[in-house]
């Protein structure tokens, strides 16, 4: 493992993550030091995925289908970056990390539904959801950051996602602006400390501190409560982050449970994950939290993710 990476680790980080992972802590670090495997998600609304894969393989790329998402492929090798091709510009595929495809699969969008994606930019999950809906129904894709909304617009246009309305507001205000009980499904892929993305950039490790985690956790709880309010009774919400921090994951979901939310089981074939943790520091989240999903980088050789499926009672 890289000595530079090890030197960046703060003693409090090591203490907490050794406690969380036990003997697997060293394995986590070794995966954090490894470059992630790039992957793409082929857009079946624009192109036959078999045609796209054959075309790329004839030109020298070697692709491997992702076991949990049939239109997703890991890029084992290739002559150039897949973001540079004309097919990328045409929206035939989106360069998206394999674990990032999981929250939309858990949300399981259907044609005709009304869906909110509260923190949507750059739009990898919005465009995936749109394709899963076959462009039928409506997605409201929101982000607070103007320059990131520009990127979101560009990606939605490139992928041809016809059923997306874009809004720009602080997600904490969404229920006061749009109303309560209106969406069939809601995705909150929350801003987070990004510890699951350390394989991509070590910046998250340098920025990590208990104080910064607590600060972002407060924002996540407010966003989650606002998102939950917009959900119809009986509707489903996915809360996801690309971090491993319990205060940004189980703690946030626990706050929704206190507001009456029900946690649902998650079933995905071909994916390894761990149950959400029941206790952390001085908090007890209860047994239901075990239905939520922790994905460590070493589980499937991806980035790290946390995903919870939440139902609003009727």
Binding site for ligand SAM (CB under 6 A): 100, 119-125, 142-145, 148, 170-172, 189, 191, 223
Q: Is 242 a catalytic residue?
A: yes
Residue 61 or 93 having the CB closest to ligand SAM: 93
Q: How far is the CB of 101 from ligand SAM (least distance, A)?
A: 9
- The span from the CA of 264 to the CA of 59, in Å, is 43
Tell me which H or E stretch contains 108.
Answer: none
Residue 29 or 248 having the CB closest to ligand SAM: 248
Tell me which H or E stretch contains 143.
Answer: none
Give whole-number Cα distances, 209 to 27, 189, 204, 244, 245, in Å: 21, 21, 10, 13, 11
Q: How far is the CB of 124 from ligand SAM (least distance, A)?
A: 4
Residue labelled with tokens 């919400």: 237
Residue 141 or 289 having the CB closest to ligand SAM: 141
Given 133, 174, 242, 309, the catalytic residue: 242
Residue 128 or 300 having the CB closest to ligand SAM: 128
Q: Hey, what are 12's tokens?
A: 């409090």
Residue 50 or 145 having the CB closest to ligand SAM: 145
Whole-angstrom distance between the N-terminal and C-terminal Cα of the chain? 50
Q: How far is the CB of 126 from ligand SAM (least distance, A)?
A: 7
User: What is the DSSP secondary-structure string of 175-235?
Assistant: HHHH-SS-EEEEEEE-----GGGTTT-THHHHH--HHHHHHHHHHHHHHHHHHHHTEEEEE
Residue 82 or 119 having the CB closest to ligand SAM: 119
Angle between helices 210-229 and 250-258 (to 10 degrees): 40
* 3-state SS class at 134: coil
Nearest to 105 by CA among 185, 200, 48: 185
Q: How far is the CB of 125 from ligand SAM (least distance, A)?
A: 4
Q: What is the CA radius of gyration of the chain?
A: 19
C-beta neighbour count of 109 within 10 angstroms: 24
- The span from the CA of 225 to the CA of 15, in Å, is 31
Q: How far is the CB of 34 from ligand SAM (least distance, A)?
A: 22
Report the DSSP beta bridge partners of residue 241: 306
Nearest to 152 by CA among 167, 137, 133, 172: 167
Annotated catalytic residues are 242
């Amino acid at each position: 493992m890289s000595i530079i990476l090890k030197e960046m680790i703060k003693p409090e980080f090591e203490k907490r993550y050794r406690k969380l992972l036990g003997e697997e802590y060293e394995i986590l670090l070794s995966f954090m030091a490894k470059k992630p495997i790039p992957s793409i998600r082929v857009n079946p609304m624009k192109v036959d995925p078999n045609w796209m894969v054959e075309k790329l393989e004839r030109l020298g790329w070697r692709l491997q289908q992702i076991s949990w998402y049939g239109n997703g492929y890991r890029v084992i090798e290739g002559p150039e970056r897949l973001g540079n091709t004309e097919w990328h510009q045409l929206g035939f595929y989106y360069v998206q990390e394999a674990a990032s495809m999981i929250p939309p699969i858990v949300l399981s969008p259907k044609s005709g539904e009304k869906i909110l994606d509260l923190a949507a930019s750059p739009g990898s999950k919005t465009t995936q959801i749109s394709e899963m809906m076959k462009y039928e129904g409506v997605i409201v894709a929101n982000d607070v950051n103007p320059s990131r909304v520009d990127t979101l617009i560009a990606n939605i246009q490139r992928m041809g996602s016809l059923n997306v309305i874009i809004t720009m507001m602080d997600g904490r205000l969404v229920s006061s602006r749009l109303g309560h009980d209106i969406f069939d499904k809601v995705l909150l892929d929350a801003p987070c400390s990004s510890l699951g993305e350390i394989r991509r950039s070590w910046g998250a490790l340098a920025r990590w501190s208990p104080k910064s985690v607590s600060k972002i956790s407060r924002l996540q709880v407010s966003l989650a409560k606002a998102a939950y309010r917009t959900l119809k009774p009986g509707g489903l919400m996915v809360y996801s982050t690309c971090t491993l921090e319990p205060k940004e994951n189980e703690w946030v979901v626990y706050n929704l449970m206190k507001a009456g939310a029900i946690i649902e089981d998650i079933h995905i074939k071909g994916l390894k994950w761990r149950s959400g943790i029941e206790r952390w520091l001085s908090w007890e989240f209860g047994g239901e939290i075990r239905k939520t999903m922790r994905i460590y980088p070493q589980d499937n050789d991806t980035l790290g993710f946390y995903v919870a499926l939440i139902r609003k009672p009727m």
